[in-house]
């Protein structure tokens, strides 16, 4: 994967993780987890609008908006007792929000496997983030259709 | 050096009360020589958010599984892992975790494969500890490395391989997955990745007893009377039975293995850790669909 195809925020997140030792990567993931923003009120009051990501063992719900200028906004919620899932969601929220729909769709599907977390959390767990990314893209495609 | 058992009355009803400790007991014994507290969770970050003082973390994916072969770590790896966590062969180990101790029970089962004698669960795990308002710390793990002997894993008593399960057909099987997984009506919407098995359903004659039925609302184990209703009256188990439990990858069934072995006192219970991800993809093994157990095929 080259930086030509990877949007800047995602490349930065990847480089930040790769710069760390394996154990410290979990600490950075925990920071992301703690940074996951609260849902905007319009979703907090309407959890039915959110889509559950079944690839994750923990309950996580995501919602993607594409505004008039084709800019993507992503929201997610997961309970505090699922910090890993929150961390995955937070990476995507920070890495994808503000990109154009076309840029998000061009993000390589295996981005989650490229950020140095696979060994730290295990390949099975990282599939949760891969599933989340796939759903973000699917929601964007559905909105464009 | 072994630490005394928790004499709490609620454990006396079980076949092996020494396998459980309460929050009161653990709080009073934290720091006792010979006691090591281990946290084992589904979520790999939960320990970092806060854990019981002095507890060490053992992760089922990254610590207990071999990173290459689908198997558990070997005797050398286990010795290195436990030694690095400050656990000696004679340590009393108390394991606790999230999800009603689901993963803690899995870790306990792996410890048992290596014959670690004194390994117990904190009844109710994290959820009960928190509900009781007990303390956590975010202090980093700090265990002095000790010597743990290299012990070969013994898979013969409490672990079943696929061929063992084929040979076992006709004896009781407990499928601890959800009813939907049992019947084979998988929820497969478009664009969902498959669940890692090519076929859906269950092993013929298996009784469906989702693992979580053994846990009460607060995450503690149900009293013996209710466990008897579920497993003896409901699933038809009788004393002396040879039982195999399975789920998707062998983790939920470790919880059931613990219940059958240590709480109900069944002496021949094996966990089939290959479980549905192996059976559901294996060539020409019998499978039954629907909510009924189904008959054992003639050989």
pLDDT tens track for B65-82: 998 999 999 999 999 999
pLDDT of residue B190: 44
Interstrand relation of B92-96 and B119-122 (parallel, antiparallel or unpaired) = parallel
The string of pLDDT tens digits covering residues B258-268 is: 999 999 999 99
The CATH code belonging to domain A3-144 is: 3.90.1010.10
Question: Quick one: tokens of A31?
Answer: 């920071």
Distance set, CA B137 to CA A35, A118, B25, B49, B203 (Å): 20, 27, 18, 8, 44
pLDDT of residue B187: 47
pLDDT of residue B141: 94
Domain ranges of chain A: 3-144
Answer yes or no: are the C-beta atoms of A39 and A121 closer than 8 Å: no
pLDDT of residue B192: 44
- Band (pLDDT 50/70/90 cuts) for residue A54 is low
- The structure tokens 């870790």 sit at B107
CB contact under 8 A, B62 and A54: no
Averaged pLDDT of chain A: 89
Residue B148 region by backbone torsions, left for phi larger than 0, else alpha for psi between -120 and 50, else beta = beta
Which segments of chain B does DSSP mark as H helices, in order? 9-12, 23-29, 46-49, 75-84, 102-113, 125-131, 162-168, 179-183, 224-228, 252-258, 275-279
How far apart CA B77 and CA B93 sit, in angstroms, is 18
The string of pLDDT tens digits covering residues B174-205 is: 999 888 889 998 644 444 445 578 899 999 99
Distance set, CA B97 to CA B35, B55, B77, B136 (Å): 17, 11, 22, 13
Instruction: Using alpha carbons, select from B298, B296, B253, B242 the residue that is nearest to residue B276.
Output: B253
Give me the residue from B45, B67, B192 closest to A26, CB to CB. Answer: B45
Give the pTM. Answer: 0.92
B99: nearest CA partner in chain A: A81
Whether pLDDT at B298 is above 90:
no
Interface size, chain A vs chain B, as Cβ–Cβ contacts under 8 Å: 54
A59: nearest CA partner in chain B: B43
pLDDT of residue B1: 62
Q: Mean pLDDT, to the nearest integer, of B253-281?
A: 97
B residues 20-49 closer than 8 Å to A (CB): 42-46, 48-49
Dihedral sign, CA of B35, B43, B79, B251?
Answer: positive
pLDDT of residue B180: 87
Q: Which residues of B are catalytic?
A: 247
Q: Is the ipTM here above 0.85?
A: no
pLDDT of residue A47: 66
- Band (pLDDT 50/70/90 cuts) for residue B253 is very high
For chain A, say whether B140 makes contact (Cβ under 8 Å): no
pLDDT of residue B285: 97
Residue B186 region by backbone torsions, left for phi larger than 0, else alpha for psi between -120 and 50, else beta = beta
Q: Mean pLDDT, to the nearest integer, of A53-74?
A: 82
CB contact under 8 A, A119 and B62: yes
Residue B144 region by backbone torsions, left for phi larger than 0, else alpha for psi between -120 and 50, else beta = beta
The string of pLDDT tens digits covering residues B231-246 is: 999 999 999 999 999 9
Whether pLDDT at A53 is above 90:
no
For chain A, say whether B18 makes contact (Cβ under 8 Å): no
Give, rounded to a whole angstrom, the gap between the first and last alpha carbons of chain B.
50
Answer yes or no: are the C-beta atoms of B3 and B29 closer than 8 Å: yes
- Band (pLDDT 50/70/90 cuts) for residue A56 is low
CB contact under 8 A, B46 and A138: no
Identify which has the larger pLDDT, B196 or A30.
A30
- Compute the nearest-CA separation of A135 from chain B (Å): 9
CB contact under 8 A, B61 and A121: yes
Instruction: Using alpha carbons, select from B19, B102, B94, B26 the residue that is nearest to residue B60.
Output: B102
The string of pLDDT tens digits covering residues A36-47 is: 998 888 877 766
The string of pLDDT tens digits covering residues A107-119 is: 999 999 999 999 8
A31: nearest CA partner in chain B: B49
DSSP secondary-structure letter at A112? G
Averaged pLDDT of chain B: 94
pLDDT of residue A40: 86
Q: C-alpha A39: how far from its chain's center?
A: 14
| SS3 category, B78 | helix
Identify which has the larger pLDDT, A49 or B225.
B225
pLDDT of residue B194: 53
């Amino acid at each position: 994967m080259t930086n030509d195809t990877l949007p800047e925020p995602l490349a930065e997140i990847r480089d930040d993780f790769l710069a760390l030792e394996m154990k410290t990567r979990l600490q950075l993931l925990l920071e992301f987890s703690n940074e996951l923003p609260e849902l905007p009120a319009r979703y907090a009051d309407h959890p039915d609008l959110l889509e559950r990501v079944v690839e994750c063992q923990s309950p996580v719900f995501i919602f993607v908006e594409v505004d008039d200028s084709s800019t993507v906004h992503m929201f997610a919620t997961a309970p505090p007792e699922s910090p890993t899932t929150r961390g995955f969601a937070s990476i995507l929220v920070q890495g994808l929000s503000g990109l154009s729909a076309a840029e998000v769709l061009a993000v390589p599907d295996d981005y989650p496997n490229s950020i140095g977390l696979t060994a730290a959390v295990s390949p099975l767990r990282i599939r949760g983030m891969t599933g989340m990314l796939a759903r973000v893209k699917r929601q964007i495609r559905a909105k464009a259709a | 050096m072994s630490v005394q058992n928790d004499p709490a009355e609620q454990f006396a009803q079980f076949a092996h009360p020494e396998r459980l400790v309460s929050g009161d007991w653990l709080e009073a014994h934290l720091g006792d020589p010979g006691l090591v507290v281990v946290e084992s969770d589904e979520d790999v970050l939960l320990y970092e958010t806060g854990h019981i003082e002095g507890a060490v973390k053992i992760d089922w994916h990254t610590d207990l599984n071999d990173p290459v072969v689908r198997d558990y770590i070997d005797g050398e790896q286990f010795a290195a892992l436990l030694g690095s966590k400050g656990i000696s062969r004679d340590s009393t180990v108390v394991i606790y975790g999230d999800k009603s101790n689901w993963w803690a029970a899995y870790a306990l089962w792996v410890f048992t494969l290596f014959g670690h004698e004194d390994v117990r669960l904190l009844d109710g795990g994290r959820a009960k500890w928190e509900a009781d308002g007990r303390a956590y710390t975010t202090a980093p793990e700090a265990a002095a490395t000790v010597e743990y002997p290299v012990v070969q894993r013994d898979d013969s008593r409490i672990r079943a391989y696929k061929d063992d399960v084929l040979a076992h057909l006709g004896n009781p099987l407990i499928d601890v997955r959800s009813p939907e997984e049992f019947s084979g009506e998988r929820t497969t919407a478009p664009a969902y990745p498959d669940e890692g098995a090519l076929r859906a359903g269950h092993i013929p004659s298996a009784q469906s007893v989702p693992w979580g039925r053994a846990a009460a609302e607060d995450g503690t184990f149900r009293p013996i009377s209710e466990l008897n209703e579920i497993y003896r009256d409901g699933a038809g188990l009788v004393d002396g039975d040879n039982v195999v439990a399975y789920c998707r990858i062998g983790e939920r069934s470790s919880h059931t293995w613990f219940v059958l072995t240590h709480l109900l006192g069944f002496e021949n219970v094996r966990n089939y850790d290959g479980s549905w991800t192996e059976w559901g993809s294996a060539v020409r093994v019998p499978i039954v669909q629907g909510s009924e157990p189904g008959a054992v095929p003639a050989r």
